């Protein structure tokens, strides 16, 4: 069975918002015998310039084509796209006939403007969450999720989260074995569940002044990593450190340390023959219950459930 995937782009779209899912579907189709037929479309066909200036060729909108999956890219030009009558008319028409509707990053603004997210759970890039929530109060925004699925409506966070969402779709369509093969081909370490926080990406993006400190913390997770200990490593007073770190990263030092531990624990659960209790000690949680609560906050699932899912895949 071949599934037709329509990817909508527009002037100043984010290149990876489109190219990431395209690559995932393309590779999955190699493993599953032409499982996907991809169509890149825009209101004005031809070479469409992304925000980087790199162009992608697009077909004209075709109201007679039925899509299994409709995907809207995001990018700097998303507000103009949401105000483009031809784009909005096509999105509404195609969505009504598609099995699955989705967006990457700020592409959620297009779906929301079309009225396709009203009453549904959704997410978008963390940097756009506040303006999205103000503009669309009827949508149940989950701003800290990598991707959100509400029935057959899927929305994802910034840029690379579109790959995570596409891999989840592939797993849904073709099974987890094909999804894992695709992830390996993409050199994705592991497919992140949708409930995982965007916070990890936030740390990487906004590390800046504290990048070296975060690298040190990753190497010393078994230590207490108190505010006082981190401040000493950063050569600052605890009070100034806590204030400066929170202002730059948007999270407290304690939340940052918890997320670093969660990420390390998840990697160990996926790859090491350690029991949950030993993993908790290895990464500094100290006891399994504390780690379980942190996993529920980050992933929406306890460690044992995530380990079972990884083994099943």
HSE-up of residue 295 (Cα within 13 Å, Cβ side)? 25
CB-count burial class (<10 Å; 0-12, 13-18, 19+) for 134: exposed
Characterize 104-114 residue by residue with b for buried, 16 or more Cβ atoms within 10 angstroms of its Cβ, and e for exposed: bbbbbbbbbbb
Q: Which is the catalytic residue, given 105, 166, 167, 291? A: 105
Decide if 157 contacts 198 (C-beta within 8 A): yes
What would the two tokens of residue 266 be? 């998840």
* Alpha-carbon distances, residue 296 vs 166, 196, 213, 230, 259 (angstroms): 23, 9, 26, 25, 12
Cα-Cα end-to-end distance for the chain: 22
Asked if 275 is an active-site residue, the reply is no
CA distance 290 to 302: 11
CA distance 145 to 154: 12
The torsion of the CA quartet 207, 210, 214, 215, rounded to 10 degrees, works out to: 90
Q: Mind telling me the catalytic residues? A: 105
């Amino acid at each position: 069975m071949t599934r037709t995937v329509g990817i909508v782009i527009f002037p100043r779209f984010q290149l990876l918002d489109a190219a990431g899912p395209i690559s995932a579907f393309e590779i999955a189709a190699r493993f599953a015998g032409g499982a996907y037929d991809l169509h890149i479309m825009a209101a004005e066909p031809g070479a469409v310039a992304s925000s980087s200036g790199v162009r992608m060729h697009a077909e004209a909108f075709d109201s007679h084509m039925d899509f299994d999956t409709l995907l809207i890219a995001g990018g700097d030009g998303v507000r103009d796209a949401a105000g483009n009558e031809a784009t909005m008319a096509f999105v509404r028409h195609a969505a009504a006939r598609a099995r699955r509707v989705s967006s990457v990053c700020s592409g959620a603004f297009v779906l929301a403007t079309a009225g396709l997210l009203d009453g549904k759970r959704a997410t978008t890039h963390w940097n756009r969450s506040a303006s999205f929530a103000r503009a669309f109060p009827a949508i149940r925004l989950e701003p800290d999720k990598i991707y959100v699925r509400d029935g057959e409506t899927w929305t994802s966070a910034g840029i690379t989260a579109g790959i995570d969402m596409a891999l989840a779709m592939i797993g849904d369509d073709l099974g987890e074995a094909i999804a894992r093969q695709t992830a390996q081909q993409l050199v994705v370490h592991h497919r992140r569940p949708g409930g995982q926080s965007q916070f990890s990406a936030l740390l990487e993006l906004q590390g800046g002044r504290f990048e070296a400190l975060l690298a040190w913390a990753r190497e010393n997770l078994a230590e207490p990593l108190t505010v006082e200990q981190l401040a000493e490593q950063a050569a600052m007073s605890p009070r100034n450190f806590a204030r400066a770190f929170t202002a730059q990263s948007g999270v407290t030092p304690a939340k940052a340390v918890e997320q670093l531990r969660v990420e390390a624990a998840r990697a160990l659960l996926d790859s090491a023959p350690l029991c949950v209790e030993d993993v908790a000690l290895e990464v500094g949680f100290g006891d399994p219950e504390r780690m379980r609560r942190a996993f529920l906050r980050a992933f929406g699932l306890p460690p044992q459930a995530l380990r079972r899912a990884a083994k099943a895949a």
